[in-house]
Amino acid sequence: MRLDKFLCRVNLGTRSQVKEYIRKGLITVNGTVCTRPEQKINEITDTVCFQEKPLIYKQFVYYMLNKPGGVVSATRDSACKTVLDLISCDEKSGIFPVGRLDKDTEGLLFLTNDGALAHMLLSPRKHVDKTYLVTLAHSLSTDDVTHLEGGVDIGEDKPTLPAKVKILSELEVLLTIQEGKFHQVKRMFTAVGNCVVHLKRISFGPLSLDETLRPGEYRVLTEKEIHALYEGTNAQK
């Protein structure tokens, strides 16, 4: 792996920043100062230091993004800004959103390059909970709640799986589902004669949206959060 690419992968900085660190002689490989960004290193066996502090390479990266409205959950799009455009690090190769949020839906989106974990999280057999804060045009009746929690017809071959509904106020509810069908939340409320005015995902499996993240901001997951994702799917890290 190129030295500058390695430095980006360990989140030391952008490509231009790490090249400046290299130029200034702040990077050593196995104790020797390196001044060429293109120098090849073995990211597993070589010891790379920044100002004498070792840099630890991790094969996989894990990000929590507070997705804003107007951005599509894709790695590329010819017409719209994508969630990957919001990731500022230069080295984004292989990173993708796990699942999707509709263009106008906000909130928690998990991005990674760990394909095995993503597959497990999206597997219908794992029954991963996804909770949304929903603002509605009209209040829900008791019958509406009963229908939503029992499964409703949204035009698919089968009704939706049972959901959980928690009333927060006259027009705000929390909806927890385990599926991810196209426009599912909106279609579920349409099925009971209502309309979604605003939609924000606040949790995905064991992850809860970090409310310190403003729309469009992201952060690296903590080791505890990463462990919880693996534990919740019984996947091997």
- Report how far residue 174's alpha carbon sits from residue 199's, in angstroms, rounded to the nearest whole number: 10
Question: What is the CA 56 to chain-centroid distance, rounded?
Answer: 23
Q: How far apart are the first and last CA of the chain?
A: 23
129 touches 205 (CB < 8 A)? yes
Q: Classify strands 48-50 and 196-204 as parallel, antiparallel or unpaired.
A: unpaired
Active site residue 102: yes
Q: Which position among 4, 102, 114, 144 bears the catalytic label?
A: 102
* Active site (catalytic) residues: 102
